[in-house]
Amino acid sequence: MQQAPFHQLPDDRSAPARAFWTQADDGVRLRLAHWQTQGEGPRGSVLLFPGRTEYIEKYAPVAHHLTAQGYDVLSIDWRGQGMSDRLQADPRPGHIGEFADYQRDVIEMVVAAGDLELPRPWHLLAHSMGGCIGLAALDGGLPVQSAVFSAPMWGINLRRVKHGMALSIAYLAGRVGRGGLAAPGSGGAATTYPLDESFNANLLTRNGDEWARLVREAVAWPHLTIGGATFDWVSKALNECTRLSRLPSPDLPMLVTLGSEEGIVSPQAIRDRAARWPGSDLMVIPGARHEVMMETDDLRAPFLEAMLARFDAR
């Protein structure tokens, strides 16, 4: 495995992850990172699936919490974001050719986990778009013993736009050769959400310290960030959410969290899936926004406790 860069802010004294490059079967170069537990007798490993716009470094605090509890962590920059290969000439918009291509990235992640001999059992921790990719991966046989989802993208909160209309607009944009442009309402191509949105209006977290960290990272590492989603990403994501809604639920223990102030993904899609997933637990967190793992301590702590209980129960 060829070493890849891993970034840390100047005042971050935590142990860095070991980052490395790998390549999917279609030639796309991917960046992965491994945090290794330092304790004796590891309890297992966590495959951490980030969301859209995200990058490996964003999850370092979560990874350190897990390694302190005896779990190795392996995470990834999905194709088209972070330091993995961008998918079109303009690197700023979040783009995808086919949503199934993300499963190519999952395959490389599983191969890497095997090559690294990550301690078993393995578990899935997936946020937002990572939850969409994760549910598809579970349907395809992802070798984990339990799954924890944070605000999974099993549907998209389109606010005032109806699903069919949004899909039609995105589809037509692709037909006329504009599918690679950033879709209105997703943020402009050149935007970076923590830099362009005010803290009070943001949809991610009420935690000012975490918001400040995201701002500092975006300023320090602009090459890790992306802007709004392209028309092609929107149409493929909506179709994937519809496809997943028709699948049966996997046969493994699952915890899913939903903030009462969720404004990015569809709360109803999460409730619907949890209701037809035997052995699942839906954890609604009053006051939480989209990113419970980066929320205030009083909102984050119950989730982290429930997450570890799910992994430990196996």
pLDDT digits (tens, 9 = 90+) for 246-260: 999 999 999 999 999
Predicted confidence (pLDDT) at residue 217 exceeds the cutoff of 90: yes
Whether the per-residue pLDDT at 151 is higher than 90: the answer is: yes
Tens of pLDDT along 94-111?
999 999 999 999 999 999
The average pLDDT across 272-297 equals 97
C-beta atoms surrounding 201 within 10 Å: 6
Confidence of residue 38 (pLDDT cuts 50, 70, 90): confident
165 — pLDDT class (breaks 50, 70, 90): very low
pLDDT band at 41 (very low <50, low <70, confident <90, very high): confident
Q: Mind listing the domains of the chain with CATH numbers?
A: 21-313 (3.40.50.1820)
Structure confidence by residue, pLDDT tens digits, 71-86: 999 999 999 999 999 9
Residue 127 has pLDDT above 60, yes or no: yes
pLDDT above 70: residue 173:
no
pLDDT of residue 15: 92
Least confident piece of the model among 13-17, 61-65, 164-168, 307-311: 164-168
